[in-house]
Amino acid sequence: MGQTTIKDVARRAGFSFQTVSLVLNHPEKVARTTRATIEAAMRDLDFVPSLAARALRKKPSRSIACVSCLGPETADDGSDPLPETDPGLVLQAFAQVTDQHGYTLIHRRCRSDDPGSPARIASLVSEARVDGLVVFAERRDDPLIALLQAKRFPFVVFGLDVPGAHCAVRADRDAVHEAVAYLARTGSRAIGFLKGDGRRLHTASERFRGYRDALAEAGLPPRDDLVVPCDWTSGGGYRATLDLLDRSARPDAIVAADDRVAFGVLKALHDRVVAVPGAIRVVGFDNLAQGAYTIPSLTSIAVPTLAMVRFAFATLAAVIAGTRAPDDLARALFPTRLVLRESTATRTP
């Protein structure tokens, strides 16, 4: 039997091959029900878009794709605008860098509960509509990473250390370790931690490891009652802080999953008339610009996002151009910096 073609898929799905092509190239322009039917036909026929398109291409596309590998969709996912999230800030930095180098940037999401997502991402690769990919993943065994490695397609992983891949990684463990060590060194003894939930599992686990390691080095016992999971939102930080305040022993400091969570922490403490930093000190993560203007101003961990993006893009561009061999791995761990502001000021006698 010959290789399955786009016309075979069209016959199975009951649509024209032009409609199937539109699903592969511009899925957002196709009705959801039509797209679902065509994607089901692709799965039934084990259809993989032809690699011949890449061989026939005369010129590179001068395009790269940032692909966010996400978990199942929840009701909250559509409520927070993307630019206010950490991935949104990174995408803005990628847009700036790609513009400077004459590349077009596109963004795609690959959801674990959407069976059509892998086919749409695979079409970017197989049809050579982009020259390379930047992958945002939280799991080393993400199927997209395995696919790209198998096809030897140019890609770099952003934010996760993956063996055998080009990577730009933030030092999450060291960042929280520095913050907790500072709090302990300057008098805090009951340091709470608002641990981000599983939507960013690797990030959350690395930061929690830094928290526990710093407590141990400071001679402070780990306390489960001071650790509260929360989502990566201000509302999550607000609710988690109220939970902490209602427990029998209150913390004297709180390290939040990120700045958005910390904004919720500050609001909850204000509403409960808890003095910051007099009674409870607060640390965020990401050093968002808004943190300098909260009351009190927020101590936070500054991340070298633009440096990470420049490294990732330069690596990807070199692999695309053939000046770096795919197996000549470029891997960098980027240090962070603790920015001290009013929310962690020490008490004066």
DSSP string, 122-175: HHHHHTTSSSEEEEE-S-TT-HHHHHHHHHT--EEEESS--TTSEEEEE-HHHH
- Mean residue pLDDT across the chain: 85
Q: What pLDDT does 58 receive?
A: 43
- Quote the DSSP letter at residue 292: G
Least confident span in 56-60, 179-183, 185-189: 56-60
Q: Residue 263, SS3?
A: helix
- Six-digit token string for 33: 């029900």
pLDDT in tens, 315-340: 999 998 889 887 899 999 999 999 99
Nearest to 188 by CA among 255, 240, 271, 244: 255
Question: What local confidence, expressed as pLDDT, does residue 36 receive?
Answer: 85
Banded pLDDT at 59 (limits 50, 70, 90): low
What element of type H or E holds 32?
helix 32-44
Whether pLDDT at 262 is above 90: yes
Q: What is the pLDDT of residue 71?
A: 60
Q: Model confidence at 48, in pLDDT bands (50, 70, 90)?
A: low
pLDDT tens digits for range 121-149? 777 776 667 889 999 988 888 888 888 88
Q: How far apart are the C-alpha atoms of 53 and 285, rounded to whole Å? A: 44
SS3 249: coil
